[in-house]
Amino acid sequence: MIEITINGKACTCEKGEFLLDVARRNGFYIPTLCHHPGLAEQGCCRVCLVEVVERGKSKIVVSCVYPVERPCEVYTDSDRVREDRGAVLMLLAMRAPASPEIAALCRQYGAIDGSRFKPIQGEKCIMCGLCARACASLGTGAISTVMRGTAKKISTPYDEPSSACIGCLSCVKVCPTSAISFTDGPEKRSIWGREFELVHCRECGTVIGTREEIEYAAKRCGEEPEEICPECRKKKMADVMAHTYGECEI
């Protein structure tokens, strides 16, 4: 175990544990955008900057990808951190001025003046890549980073509806800036230029996903598609177990 201090509080951690995880476990909040617990760290948004003092030397590090290797002092809201984070947030605000999440972070942590820069009007995406990584982790790979330079964006191949998309909304759920648009109606879902049939639970009628999503999940599990929601499945299983237990008592 390694002993460190975070904002003056003594904390312990395993060698190699990421600083962000140690801080959050000990009650210190550090803002993040590109970090998601279900995906490997990448440290691209730089919002989670903290100051680390090791052997008398101070440095600014990206806490979500910084492994603790030795005793150190950590400051999550020092003057250096506030200044650097303010600059990062200003740049993100220029990249995604239409994102309410970015605007809220700018107000909370004090983004520096970016009036000399020209914002990308109407943009919400900060190109963190979480959506594409989530899609790839499912094995569908319907979206990815396309184009280069200032034209770089997340999209389907050639901006055409992708046959690989299953309409599962995994990309939407991990997006930190609400940049991916979709619509849900009573029977249909539209996303990435495609329209999907929504499947309802045969027991309670709640929406459980798209037809393609359910069939894809069943195929990966080697099972037949089942149109029943998790809650009804639990209730059904509990009823079966209660019935079986009752018969055993008799």
List, for residues 137-193, the tens digit of each pLDDT value: 988 999 999 998 888 999 999 999 999 999 999 999 999 999 999 999 999 999 999
pLDDT the model gives residue 247: 55
Q: Tell me the whole-structure pTM to 2 decimals.
A: 0.86
With a CB cutoff of 8 Å and minimum separation 6, the contacts of 33 are: 45, 47, 92, 101, 105, 126, 128, 176, 177
pLDDT the model gives residue 151: 87
pLDDT the model gives residue 230: 87
Distance in angstroms (rounded) separating the CA atoms of residues 42 and 148: 20
Q: What tens digit of pLDDT does each residue of 14-50 get?
A: 999 999 999 999 999 999 999 998 898 889 999 999 9
pLDDT category, 54, cuts 50, 70, 90?
very high
pLDDT the model gives residue 149: 86
Mean pLDDT of 199-218: 93
Is residue 210 within 8 Å of residue 183, measured between CB atoms?
Answer: no
